[in-house]
């Protein structure tokens, strides 16, 4: 996401939905961290350059595949989305996260953990 990009309501809604789907029940920092990962990917040339594109990229977020993404986000998820959009990144630039208690894909365990926030491990 370049500095000329204007954040639209749809972007905030999508970000709140993925935060709610992937991090509800986590601490507020953990929720912001999930939003920050999405925004870090938008800025990285290896990923799509929109929030919607990152979220809908195939096989990236299990909550999109299993339908949890379709849940309506709560107000805390929106607050976390706004916080991430305003530049709060508790992950310091991480591009991935996983919960080691439920992760089933091998790549998760092959990356060095940069930071642990709640139940999620964040990696670059």
pLDDT at residue number 7: 76
Q: What is the pLDDT along the chain (124 residues), one digit of tens a residue?
A: 444 456 788 999 999 999 999 999 999 999 999 999 999 999 999 999 999 999 999 999 999 999 999 999 999 999 999 999 999 999 999 999 998 888 777 776 678 899 999 999 999 9
| Residue ranges in the chain assigned as alpha helix (H) | 9-23, 28-43, 51-56, 62-65, 75-85, 107-110
26 assigned to some structural domain: yes
d(CA 88, CA 32): 7
1 assigned to some structural domain: no
115 assigned to some structural domain: no
pLDDT at residue number 111: 84
The C-alpha R_g of the chain, in whole angstroms, comes to 13
Q: What size, in residues, is the chain? A: 124
Non-local (6+) Cβ contacts of 66 within 8 A are none
pLDDT at residue number 9: 87
DSSP 87: T
43 assigned to some structural domain: yes
The residue with tokens 């970000």 is 15
pLDDT at residue number 101: 87
For residues 32 and 91, the answer to whether their CB atoms sit within 8 Å is no
106 assigned to some structural domain: no
Rounded alpha-carbon distances, angstroms, from residue 109 to 32, 57, 96, 99, 113: 22, 21, 11, 10, 9
pLDDT at residue number 102: 84
Residue 81: domain span:
9-90
């Amino acid at each position: 996401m370049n500095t000329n990009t204007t954040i639209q309501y749809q972007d905030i809604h999508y970000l709140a939905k993925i935060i709610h789907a992937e991090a509800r029940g986590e601490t507020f920092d953990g929720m912001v961290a999930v939003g920050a990962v999405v925004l870090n990917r938008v800025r990285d040339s290896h990923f799509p350059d929109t929030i919607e594109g990152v979220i809908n990229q195939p096989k990236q977020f299990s909550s999109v595949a299993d339908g949890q993404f379709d849940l309506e986000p709560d107000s805390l998820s929106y607050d976390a989305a706004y916080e991430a959009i305003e530049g709060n990144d508790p992950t310091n630039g991480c591009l991935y996260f996983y919960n080691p208690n439920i992760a089933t894909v091998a790549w998760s365990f092959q990356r060095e953990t940069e930071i642990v926030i709640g139940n999620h491990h964040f990696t670059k």
